[in-house]
Amino acid sequence: MMPNTGPITLVSGAASGIGRHMAIALAGAGHRLMLTDIDSAGLNRLAAEQVWQDRSDIMLHALDVRSREGWDALMALTLERFGGLDLMLNVAGYLRSGYIAELEVDAIDRQIDINVKGVMYATRVGARQMVKQGHGHILNVASIAAISHVPGLSIYCASKHAVRGFTLSIAHELNKHGVQVTVFCPDAVETPMLVEQEAHPEAAMTFGAGRALTLQEVERALLHAIKTQPLELLLDVPLSGRAIGAKLANMFPRLTALAVNHILRQGKRVQALRSKTP
């Protein structure tokens, strides 16, 4: 087999959801991959996929994104194996819905540590290598919740606002070094994380679009972003208008109060239907 010369790509959160789907898609597109997740069993299941057969240019390595030392070690391993880094796709995330007066402190810490500090630690090591190289692309996955505000998901919303603000800020730092940065803000996506929210009334706004984005829709958007390297990419359910609504709510926060009850009713109906589906 001829050695692969595709882009060297690191994907976090690769054991499930968007990360897993993109790992398989990028492998099919010829990327050389370093795939990481805290879920070792999930990585082992991923390793069994047919797409990996006869591929020596794909590595899987367990990592807790909250570990600064872990990220340093992973980057060293990536450089040792591949010699560089062309694309970093930071997908790993955690969601725990809940009203702030009832939320335990651990739910706050985990969401901030994983969603914010995990992305920052990853971006730091990726940026250092890419600045040395004079090229690269960092793509951080935020959420449509990074643009608006979502009652019932206040900590998750705050964490994704932080990811968006951080990513947009570093874009100006890194551009002069030839490093491109993208923040991806999708609506709710059909993943195990979303399924876990079906039984939580406080997460009703997540389901307000009527349906979730499919992984195939996310894949198309991300593959396009990898090619075009936009600063920001929003993706909502077609015809839902949620991205426009989120932008308006961000500009005029009081607008949320006018729409929130309608969105909550719609979301609760969808939750009820989903919970009845075998």
| Residue located via tokens 């930071």 | 90
Helix and strand counts by DSSP (H, E) for the chain: 10, 7
| Cβ atoms 34, 77 nearer than 8 A | yes
Report which of 26, 25, 9 is spatially closest to residue 78, judged by C-alpha positions. 9
- CA dihedral (78, 86, 193, 20) in degrees, to 10, reads -70
Pull the structure tokens for residue 144: 């449509």
Report the side by side order of strands in the sheet with 8-12.
58-62, 32-37, 8-12, 87-90, 136-141, 179-186, 232-235
Q: Within a 10 A sphere around the Cβ of 122, how many other Cβ atoms? A: 25
- 94, 99, 121, 156: which one is catalytic? 156
Query: Is 168 exposed, middle or buried, given 0-12, 13-18 or 19+ CB atoms closer than 10 A?
Result: middle
Q: Tokens standing for 239?
A: 């015809």
* Length in residues, the chain: 278
Find residue 186's DSSP bridge partners. Answer: 235
Between the CA of residue 41 and those of 44, 106, 161, what are the distances in Å?
5, 24, 31
SS3 1: coil
Q: Are 125 and 113 within 8 A, CB to CB?
A: no
121 assigned to active site: no
Query: What amino acid positions are annotated as catalytic residues?
Result: 156
